[in-house]
Structure 1
Amino acid sequence: MSNPSEIKKATLYLYPESKCVLNLNDSWINQEVIPNKLNVLDLTGYVQKGNNMLFAGFPFTIGKKLFAARLIVEYYNYDRIELSTDSSWLTVDSYTNPSIMRAFPIPVPPVVAEKPLYADSINYSEFKEWVIQVPVDALEKVNNIYMRIKYSGDRAELYNGYMLSDDDYNSHAVWNIGLNRQEHSVEGKSLNLVIYKQNQGEKIFYDLPVDGTDQIAEIKNMVFESEKIEQIK
């Protein structure tokens, strides 16, 4: 689907076990990729509306080397799409650099490797994410369901697919979200909750007292409360 908005930001999160060079839309990305580390690469200046071609070049080594990647593209209309190596990428073996002067071999779906033991220890401290599964018939016999979230961090966003469904700047009060009041139905959907930490040194004035934990993105408490349908006789 073509998004009518311009691209605001494109970020590639890449964890490789070996050195790597990247080429996007026939331009080499002049950013160092460090092996055995989560690399956060800004691709905003390289991406374009429509089709994009990203090459990841790895040196030939004996044995199996793994890598994992996730691309997040944010738009000015607050939409957000992402591609991950487990399901959305194509691969091809090629030992020559990409060139507009010759045809590119037809790529094929990748073989998904087993998760390495260190995978669960890879994290990015700037934000954390949670998936909230809403049952298909969640709102069938109630007027509304309220998701009440208390969290630490700077701000939070709730996505329904690629669309921003709700957001909040942390005032240290409970964030109340009416599931029946979202622009698009959330029944049967997997909602993505993203909480961003507050950067050290930011000066923010709060109406409520703070406890100094906002430099960590975390859910402190989350409950669901239903609002029953009242029949007037």
Structure 2
Amino acid sequence: MEQPIGSGSAGWHLSAGGGWQDRAVRDLDALLIDMDGTIVDSEPYWIRTEGELVAEFGGTWSAADAHSIVGFDLLDAAAELRSRGGVDLEPPAIVERLLDGVVERCRHRLPWRPGARELLEEVRDAQVPCVLVTMSWRRFADAVLAAAPAGAFSGSVTGDEVEHGKPAPDPYLAAAALVGVDPARCVAIEDSPTGVASAVAAGCTTIAVPHVVAVPEIDGVHVVDTLDGVGLAELERIVRTRR
């Protein structure tokens, strides 16, 4: 079970027991990992729900529109649905409607991305802290956390718990602070340009796993086609290479 951490922590959640007190000396102090499109293939659920909501209000929402907001803070995405899609609701209400649709779809099937569960299990078994860093809100993140391998996450930071969402560095800085490590000694894994920008700005060693949208080449960002076969040894190798 996750517990909110103390004052000044903006509601970020720390799993009971923490998981980093017995951390061995290694090249990697923590794994910070995105959710939508990175460990679960939920982006199609978001895109479908956005289209349905826009259609309800008589607007149009193209694939290009949907792809342009992948990785956005949900309130920022909602503002685009309102301005471009004609959804005549305030952004917080739009977010709640989106969450309703996506959470319901995930109840029927939570599609894990290739290699994601295996990586989470290996990192957990090595007692390396792992923090979920997502722009989805707490009620959706908790559903994914509950379905993840037991003990895989040391904590989580969600989009409704940070003042500035991705591409600002705040979510990744918060995640590193949550487990008491230097962002420069963390690996962040992301699937979107917005998320990659956030992780890079925070100073993390960053791995991009493009999925729904392409990620432009950025110096120092390692790109892999899939997490299938990517293990802890590879993460540590990437950290050493960056140094």
TM (norm. structure 2) is 0.26
Q: Which structure shows the higher strand fraction?
A: 1
Larger relative CO (CA 8 A, sep 6+): 1 or 2?
Answer: 2
